[in-house]
Amino acid sequence: MLATMLSLMLAMPQGSVSQLSWLSGAWSERQANGEWTEEYWTPVRGELMIGAGMTGRGASVRHFEQMRIWRTADGKVMLHANPNGAAGASFTLTRQTADEAVFENPDNDYPQRVTYRRVGDKVEAAISLIDGKQERRWTYQRP
């Protein structure tokens, strides 16, 4: 009986894109020095979200990124990011609660961890190495 339950648990998909519906929409962070960061996420459709992000200062864009969160054929939930049009990297969902999603790829140079956390009506996003070092953090709100 225990072996059957364990087997079923291992076969179940890990995480849910649908649980990330709170991430959909437009998000921005503005700094007093004119720097800004924006992210946009589509609503969840068929266990898929499409995202885009930009950072800059004033009217200048310094960085852009195309992203997607989806469930793979083998049941994993993944985040893939293409920074500045490059091939990019994929990150596997390693932890999820109703208000947080953590994606990791220890083989990527940087970042190795991507975290989204809902805090009230804001979203905290962070990237870091797998051990949490070299963390960069953003606090987004609706524009």
Ordered domains of the chain (ranges, CATH): 15-140 (2.40.128.20)
Which tops the pLDDT comparison, 4 or 58?
58
Cα torsion 125, 130, 134, 137 to 10°: value is: 10
Mean of the per-residue pLDDT values of the chain: 92
Q: How far apart are CA 79 and CA 50, in angstroms?
A: 10
Q: How far apart are CA 141 and CA 104, in angstroms?
A: 24
What's the mean pLDDT in 26-46?
Answer: 97
Q: SS3 of 4, please?
A: helix
Residue 63 burial (CB count, 10 A): 11
The pLDDT of residue 1 is above 60 = no
Task: Report which residue type is found at 112.
Answer: Q
Residue 26 CB contacts under 8 Å (≥ 6 apart), including other chains: 38, 39, 40, 142, 143
Supply the pLDDT for residue 14.
75
From the list 114, 95, 121, 132, the residue with the least C-alpha distance to 16 is 95
Q: How far apart are CA 133 and CA 111, in angstroms?
A: 10
State the DSSP H helix or E strand holding residue 64, giving kind and residue range, or none if neither: strand 60-71
Kindly report the CA angle at 24 between 71 and 43, in degrees rounded to 5? 60
What's the mean pLDDT in 75-90?
Answer: 96
Q: Looking at the whole model, is its pTM more than 0.85?
A: yes
Lowest model confidence (mean pLDDT) among 2-11, 30-39, 95-104, 127-136: 2-11
Supply the pLDDT for residue 3.
52
